[in-house]
Amino acid sequence: MENNNLLRVFIGSKINIGQDFYDSFNLHGKKIEISLLHLTYYFFGNIENKQIDAISKKMENLEYNKIHTKINGLDGFPNRNRAKIAYLTLDYNVIPLFQKIMETLDIKNRFFIPHITLYRMKKMVKVKVVHANYDVVIDSVCLYQSIFDAKRIYNPLYCIELK
């Protein structure tokens, strides 16, 4: 099988934040464009087209209410002191939705942390503790294809609107 038969995909929700809040974060690294911000629930990596169909079919069974939550801070992967990724954290009220997605899609990896990637860094950096209190609404869950072309594109392949 050739690589071009594979799609790089993840499950996520589009996140809308204001420009002032977005501009309040300033780190050394490549900042994700505000229009591309999303909450990642699970990253599948490169998978075949037939798996896309199977995931979409399972997503049809996902029923959940929209969530009003808060962005409450900033953290880093693999950890705050030596981070290659800086991400926005959310209140714990998103965890039941995350668990429902994992259960509905029969994903056993319980170590994945739902997150909103804000920066990618070439070198490890220390991410300072930042507290925030910013309201966001999660009103859909989508299976996205991640495309690297001249710029990054997240193409929604299948979406479920939350009630």
Predicted confidence (pLDDT) per residue in 45-98, tens digit: 999 999 999 999 999 999 999 999 999 999 999 999 999 999 999 999 999 999
Find all residues with CB under 8 Å of 64, minimum gap 6, and list them: 97, 100, 141, 162, 163
What residue has token string 């911000």? 37
CB 89 within 8 A of CB 72: yes
Cα 126 to Cα 13: distance, rounded to the nearest angstrom: 27
CATH number for position 145: 3.90.1140.10
Percentage above 90 pLDDT, the chain = 90
Instruction: Quickly list H helices, 62-126.
Output: 95-104
**Total tally of structural domains belonging to the chain:** 1
Confidence class for position 151, pLDDT limits 50, 70, 90: confident
| Extended strands (E) in the chain | 6-14, 30-31, 38-48, 67-79, 82-90, 116-125, 130-138, 140-148, 152-161
Determine the structural domain holding residue 67 and report its residue range.
3-161
Nearest Cα to Cα of residue 160 among 70, 68, 55, 46: 55
The per-residue pLDDT for range 94-113, each reduced to its tens digit, is 999 999 999 999 998 878 89
CB 151 within 8 A of CB 92: no
- The reported pLDDT for the residue numbered 111 is 83
- The reported pLDDT for the residue numbered 3 is 56
Confidence class for position 2, pLDDT limits 50, 70, 90: very low
How much is the pTM? 0.93
CB 37 within 8 A of CB 17: yes
Confidence class for position 1, pLDDT limits 50, 70, 90: very low
* For residue 159, pLDDT beyond 90: yes
Residue type, 99: Q
Task: Dig out the tokens for 34 from the structure.
Answer: 């505000």
CB 120 within 8 A of CB 38: no
Cα 9 to Cα 132: distance, rounded to the nearest angstrom: 29
